[in-house]
Amino acid sequence: MRLAEIVGKVTLSRSLPELKGGRLLLARPMTAAALALDAPDRGEDVVLYDDLGAGPGSIVGLSEGREAANPFGKIKTPIDAYCACLLDAIDVDPELALPAGHPALDTNRTRTL
């Protein structure tokens, strides 16, 4: 599971009946530096299926691969990423999140959402 920030929504002209009840969102995975220092560096955008109600700016737990389709049971779905949880807060210790020698380790900051 990775953490990601919701940055937008995906609009479809047609959808599969198996995906009823949810929506597709655009998420940007967060690196350790982004979590520890609120740095702008992020991963490559991912389209994920959400039925929990995440919105722009939400931080979510992102499940990928075969595990992303598990919530649908035996119904075959074309899902590669799934919003597994919504996070209320994140507390990150930069000394644990960043590699030794990182310049930001001179300060002791944590990020709370």
Q: Which domains are delineated in the chain?
A: 2-105 (2.40.50.220)
pLDDT in tens, 35-70: 777 766 677 899 999 989 999 999 999 988 877 777
Residue type, 44: E
Q: How far is CA 43 from CA 11, 31, 34, 40, 65, in A?
A: 22, 7, 10, 10, 17
pTM (2 decimals)? 0.75
pLDDT at position 50 = 92
